[in-house]
Amino acid sequence: MRKYKILLVIGDGLGDRPVTSLGGMTPLQYARKPNIDKLLKTSIVGLMDPISPGVIPGSDTSHLAIFGLDPYKYYRGRGAFEALGAGAQLKHGDVAFRGNFATVDNNMIVKDRRAGRKLDEGQALVDELNQKIGTIDDVKVSFYKGTEHRVAVVLSGDSLSDKVGDTDPHEVGKRVKESEPIDGSHEAKRTSSVLNKLTEAMYKVLNESEINKERVKKGELPANIVLVRGAASYVKLPKLSDYAGLRGATVAATALIKGICKELGMNVVTPPGATGGIDTDYDSKANTAIDFLKSDDYDLVFLHIKATDAASHDGKIQEKVKAIEKIDYVIGKILDAVGDDMIIALTGDHSTPVEKKEHAGDPVPIFIHVPYPISYDSVEDFNEIDAKKGSLKIRGLDILNLLLNYSQRAEKYGA
Amino acid sequence: MRKYKILLVIGDGLGDRPVTSLGGMTPLQYARKPNIDKLLKTSIVGLMDPISPGVIPGSDTSHLAIFGLDPYKYYRGRGAFEALGAGAQLKHGDVAFRGNFATVDNNMIVKDRRAGRKLDEGQALVDELNQKIGTIDDVKVSFYKGTEHRVAVVLSGDSLSDKVGDTDPHEVGKRVKESEPIDGSHEAKRTSSVLNKLTEAMYKVLNESEINKERVKKGELPANIVLVRGAASYVKLPKLSDYAGLRGATVAATALIKGICKELGMNVVTPPGATGGIDTDYDSKANTAIDFLKSDDYDLVFLHIKATDAASHDGKIQEKVKAIEKIDYVIGKILDAVGDDMIIALTGDHSTPVEKKEHAGDPVPIFIHVPYPISYDSVEDFNEIDAKKGSLKIRGLDILNLLLNYSQRAEKYGA
């Protein structure tokens, strides 16, 4: 039985709500999308709740679900996935924190939770921390620069726990907190003890850093502490090739998505000009996807477009419409190059209504094109309203199974 | 409140896809089914995913779900359910294997994984194994003949585990494998040790068997070993009367289905002439179902028709259409005899597209006729495409609850 290739396209934050300035249409309704329209005739269509109805997904939890991994099992908090996004290589049981470079006085009272918000020297400070701290009580401490003042802090070692409190007091004028164990376990006590020693060590390194002396000279606040919050143990993700038998390639520019796909064992490529923003190079992304689809090395090609979400968070309605039309353009370019004799699915990882500017728990439209005759749905336009007429009422966790079924790669469950 | 009787009809592998030689219609679309059409006017209708969207069900996992038992809880592998199908009485914790009569040389190198494929003496060899082996290290070993060269092997005793490797090397020219424990547990070590002693004992019994000496004389390969694979612990199924309050009767000819229904505590009957094939005696099955429906002893009558699946696996399009028309005929005959003043449900345990000849993960149409006014669906034909217009988008696990609800037998969950 012939196995089909799979192209999975995720428009980040694709779903939306009726927008007044679009005459009460959603961006998907408003956008011109001739290539998607054509695929729709040979597709099953419907609505998808990435987690479950009404639950507002993060991009991390949603992508886990879309790749068939239950986030309630694999997701212990943002810290671990932000660290992945920042380039960390995590081991099962590592505890990761979200951190901020901040400014404290010599009594450890927080003066500014973001060290003046302007921090060009973030990478240099992270490098200095990594060089000078190393291990504390046999626990390896690693720092990874995030965006702006953000930094991911990872503890690696035996007997660690994420049941520990933040050191971030979450308020200016308060003292840096002592982390406390949340449960009575040995592991939690050990982890909070390491964390408190780490606070002292970071202050020592950062306060004496030449970089901070320079900042003070320039009248800037020193970034002399990292406040941490949101401890999260990393639950090792299995490899997509092991649990689904799929050799996968990812085309993406967003750090978080790239981090997850790398952990899943996929080949992850950010093509030249791909930015993860609305200014991304769509041709470049399409070309890379085409190369992967033409290659014998991959069964699944995952194309992630962040522009839809970026426009939504910024409240840029026309940019979101344009990003959707660009997704259609990319799909058209791929169809021109490799044809439609494969499984093609398009959906979002969540809705980000452009007038709300934040993620919402609304369902997201989805279509799955199948190149041989099945019971197709009769849905004429791909948008939030028409998708209700389709037969799919699924959850994110169902997507991988549907892709495996229609690509004729699924294994029977039972006899 | 009056409780209604329930007739549940499963057409095995009923669901399908558009078929070229049927003018792009599915067999359900193409078939004449006047009795089903009539019931549809007083029914709720829709699509059912036996396990979950896209998952390809086996008949075993699907029937568990349809009878309200989560296969992810009750199903540990094919071995246990094949043994049930072969007539085994399993106890909770028994470990069952799928086995093949095979041929080995005196160095235990596999010469033929199916002992020449022709084995008329299977039952006699199974009887001899059962007589001569008995127990090994206090573990009772039982053999059950399956179809052709297949044999189910069941270990019964304390402290057994299904975390053990196969003895089947899955390749000709290789030595019979030593079974190895998959985890470090005492139970797994004990089970693999018993299994390895069993391999020696089987070889001794079979190689010295007069039956095999006779086969060799005739120039046939001796069936002098049973290669086993797919260890599966049996999780005891609860009784339908206990967990659903239903006294059930089953009309079926297929071993696997009969085995499951017996374990559920149902009265299982194979009427004269029922074959589990496309040549089955439909009148005989209808008459037995009518008798059960007329009896005061049963609340649920389950009628299983294998012919739809048999035709599908053979790729016989017209036979599948005919089998569907025969299901309609059987339903008509039952309606003539006992009327429609009961709950009548028809669905499949999975799709077996006749051009694919294998199970698929596509959803299956379902209707449930309710003899008193409820919010019926307006679906005019019972098939994969029109069912999309119905209100049901359910999973196999939902069926029993729907039957209990509409038959007025459900108990309130809560106060």
Per-residue pLDDT tens digits for A245-297 = 999 999 999 989 999 999 999 999 999 999 888 889 999 999 999 999 999 99
Which residue type sits at B402? Answer: L
Only one residue has tokens 């085994």, namely B88
| B58: nearest CB among A393, A400, A414 | A414
Judged by CB atoms closer than 8 Å, whether chains meet at A402 and B53 is answered as: yes
Q: Does A159 touch chain B (CB under 8 A)?
A: no
Terminal Cα distance for chain A, rounded: 18
- In this model, does residue A148 exceed pLDDT 90? no
Question: Model ipTM?
Answer: 0.90
Only one residue has tokens 């728990």, namely A361
Q: Which of A160, A163, A150 is CA-nearest to residue A122?
A: A150
- In this model, does residue B358 exceed pLDDT 90? yes
Is residue B363 a contact partner of residue B55, using CB atoms and an 8 Å limit?
A: no
Ramachandran angles phi, psi of A284, nearest 5°: -65, -40
Instruction: Collect all residues with Cβ–Cβ distance below 8 Å to A210 and sequence separation of at least 6.
Output: none
Average pLDDT of chain B?
96
The whole-angstrom separation of Cα B194 and Cα B137 is 7
Judged by CB atoms closer than 8 Å, whether chains meet at A373 and B20 is answered as: yes
List of chain B residues whose C-beta atoms are within 8 Å of the C-beta of residue A374 = 17-18, 362
Q: Does A373 touch chain B (CB under 8 A)?
A: yes
- In this model, does residue B13 exceed pLDDT 90? yes
Nearest residue in B to A395, CA atom: B53
Strands of B149-274, DSSP E: 150-156, 225-233, 248-251, 267-269
Q: Which of A158, A96, A194, A105 is CA-nearest to residue A180?
A: A194
Q: Does A413 touch chain B (CB under 8 A)?
A: yes
Q: Does B164 touch chain A (CB under 8 A)?
A: no
The whole-angstrom separation of Cα B79 and Cα A384 is 45
Is residue A196 a contact partner of residue A130, using CB atoms and an 8 Å limit?
A: no
List of chain B residues whose C-beta atoms are within 8 Å of the C-beta of residue A397 = 52
Q: How far is CA B30 from the centre of its chain?
A: 27
**3-class secondary structure, A248:** strand
- Per residue in B374-391, pLDDT tens? 999 999 999 999 999 999
Of A190-204, A280-294, B139-153, B192-206, the poorest mean pLDDT is in: B139-153
List of chain A residues whose C-beta atoms are within 8 Å of the C-beta of residue B75 = 414
Helix residue spans in B141-209 (DSSP H): 186-207
Higher pLDDT, residue B67 or A79? B67
The whole-angstrom separation of Cα B151 and Cα B122 is 8
Judged by CB atoms closer than 8 Å, whether chains meet at A414 and B385 is answered as: no
Min CA distance, B82 vs chain A (Å)?
Answer: 8
Q: Give the per-residue pLDDT at B49.
A: 98
Is residue B312 a contact partner of residue B13, using CB atoms and an 8 Å limit?
A: yes
Q: Does B54 touch chain A (CB under 8 A)?
A: yes
Domain architecture of chain B: domains with CATH? 6-74+237-406 (3.40.720.10), 80-233 (no CATH)
Min CA distance, B307 vs chain A (Å)?
Answer: 17
Judged by CB atoms closer than 8 Å, whether chains meet at B388 and A375 is answered as: yes
Q: Grade residue B147 by pLDDT with cuts at 50, 70 and 90.
A: confident
Cα B381–Cα B383–Cα B384 angle in degrees, nearest 5: 140
Nearest residue in A to B256, CA atom: A415
| A401: nearest CB among B20, B52, B61 | B52
Judged by CB atoms closer than 8 Å, whether chains meet at B56 and A412 is answered as: yes
Q: Give the per-residue pLDDT at B77.
A: 87
Best of B388, B391, B398 to disrupt the A interface (most A CBs within 10 Å) is B388
Q: Grade residue B278 by pLDDT with cuts at 50, 70 and 90.
A: confident
Judged by CB atoms closer than 8 Å, whether chains meet at B360 and A411 is answered as: no
Average pLDDT over residues B82-107: 93
Q: Give the per-residue pLDDT at B81.
A: 87
- In this model, does residue B146 exceed pLDDT 90? no
Average pLDDT over residues A331-360: 98
Min CA distance, A243 vs chain B (Å)?
Answer: 14
List of chain A residues whose C-beta atoms are within 8 Å of the C-beta of residue B47 = 391
- In this model, does residue A221 exceed pLDDT 90? yes
Q: Does A398 touch chain B (CB under 8 A)?
A: yes
Average pLDDT over residues B194-222: 96
Containing B260, the helix (H) or strand (E) segment is helix B255-263
DSSP code for B386: G
- In this model, does residue B148 exceed pLDDT 90? no
Is residue A253 a contact partner of residue A276, using CB atoms and an 8 Å limit?
A: yes
Which residue type sits at B305? Answer: I
Q: Does B56 touch chain A (CB under 8 A)?
A: yes
In this structure, is the dihedral angle defined by the CA atoms of residues A106, A107, A111 and A112, taken in order, positive or negative?
A: positive
Q: Does B349 touch chain A (CB under 8 A)?
A: no
Only one residue has tokens 């309606």, namely B335
The whole-angstrom separation of Cα A28 and Cα A38 is 15
Q: Give the per-residue pLDDT at B85.
A: 86
Q: Does A374 touch chain B (CB under 8 A)?
A: yes
Q: Does B189 touch chain A (CB under 8 A)?
A: no
Only one residue has tokens 């028994």, namely B94
The whole-angstrom separation of Cα B114 and Cα B149 is 6
**3-class secondary structure, B373:** coil
Q: Give the per-residue pLDDT at B78.
A: 84
Judged by CB atoms closer than 8 Å, whether chains meet at B361 and A404 is answered as: yes
Q: What percent of chain B has pLDDT over 70?
A: 100
Q: Does A414 touch chain B (CB under 8 A)?
A: yes
Q: Give the per-residue pLDDT at B262.
A: 94
Q: Does B285 touch chain A (CB under 8 A)?
A: no
Average pLDDT of chain A?
96
Cα A171–Cα A173–Cα A174 angle in degrees, nearest 5: 70
Instruction: Collect all residues with Cβ–Cβ distance below 8 Å to B308 and sequence separation of at least 6.
Output: B11, B12, B13, B14, B320, B323, B324, B327, B348, B352
Q: Give the per-residue pLDDT at A265.
A: 97
Q: Does B82 touch chain A (CB under 8 A)?
A: yes
Q: Give the per-residue pLDDT at A143.
A: 97
Q: Does B63 touch chain A (CB under 8 A)?
A: no
Judged by CB atoms closer than 8 Å, whether chains meet at A414 and B81 is answered as: yes
Ramachandran angles phi, psi of A80, nearest 5°: -65, -40
Ramachandran angles phi, psi of B321, nearest 5°: -55, -45
List of chain A residues whose C-beta atoms are within 8 Å of the C-beta of residue B24 = 373
Nearest residue in B to A1, CA atom: B356
Nearest residue in B to A404, CA atom: B54
- In this model, does residue A118 exceed pLDDT 90? no
Best of B229, B362, B383 to disrupt the A interface (most A CBs within 10 Å) is B362
The whole-angstrom separation of Cα A109 and Cα B180 is 61
Judged by CB atoms closer than 8 Å, whether chains meet at B55 and A415 is answered as: no
Min CA distance, A162 vs chain B (Å)?
Answer: 28
Nearest residue in A to B46, CA atom: A391
Q: What percent of chain A has pLDDT over 90?
A: 93
Q: What percent of chain B has pLDDT over 90?
A: 92
Helix residue spans in A208-249 (DSSP H): 210-217, 240-243
Q: Give the per-residue pLDDT at B298.
A: 98
Judged by CB atoms closer than 8 Å, whether chains meet at A373 and B24 is answered as: yes
- In this model, does residue A116 exceed pLDDT 90? no
Containing A103, the helix (H) or strand (E) segment is strand A95-104
DSSP letters of B281-333? -HHHHHHHHHHHHHSTT-SEEEEEE-HHHHHHHTT-HHHHHHHHHHHHHHHHH
Only one residue has tokens 């040995």, namely A186
- Per residue in B38-79, pLDDT tens? 999 999 999 999 999 999 999 999 999 999 999 999 999 888
Q: Does B12 touch chain A (CB under 8 A)?
A: no
Judged by CB atoms closer than 8 Å, whether chains meet at A400 and B54 is answered as: yes
* CA Rg value for chain B: 23
What is the count of residue pairs from A and B with beta carbons less than 8 Å apart?
84
Q: Does B59 touch chain A (CB under 8 A)?
A: yes
Judged by CB atoms closer than 8 Å, whether chains meet at A410 and B52 is answered as: no
Q: Give the per-residue pLDDT at B163.
A: 96
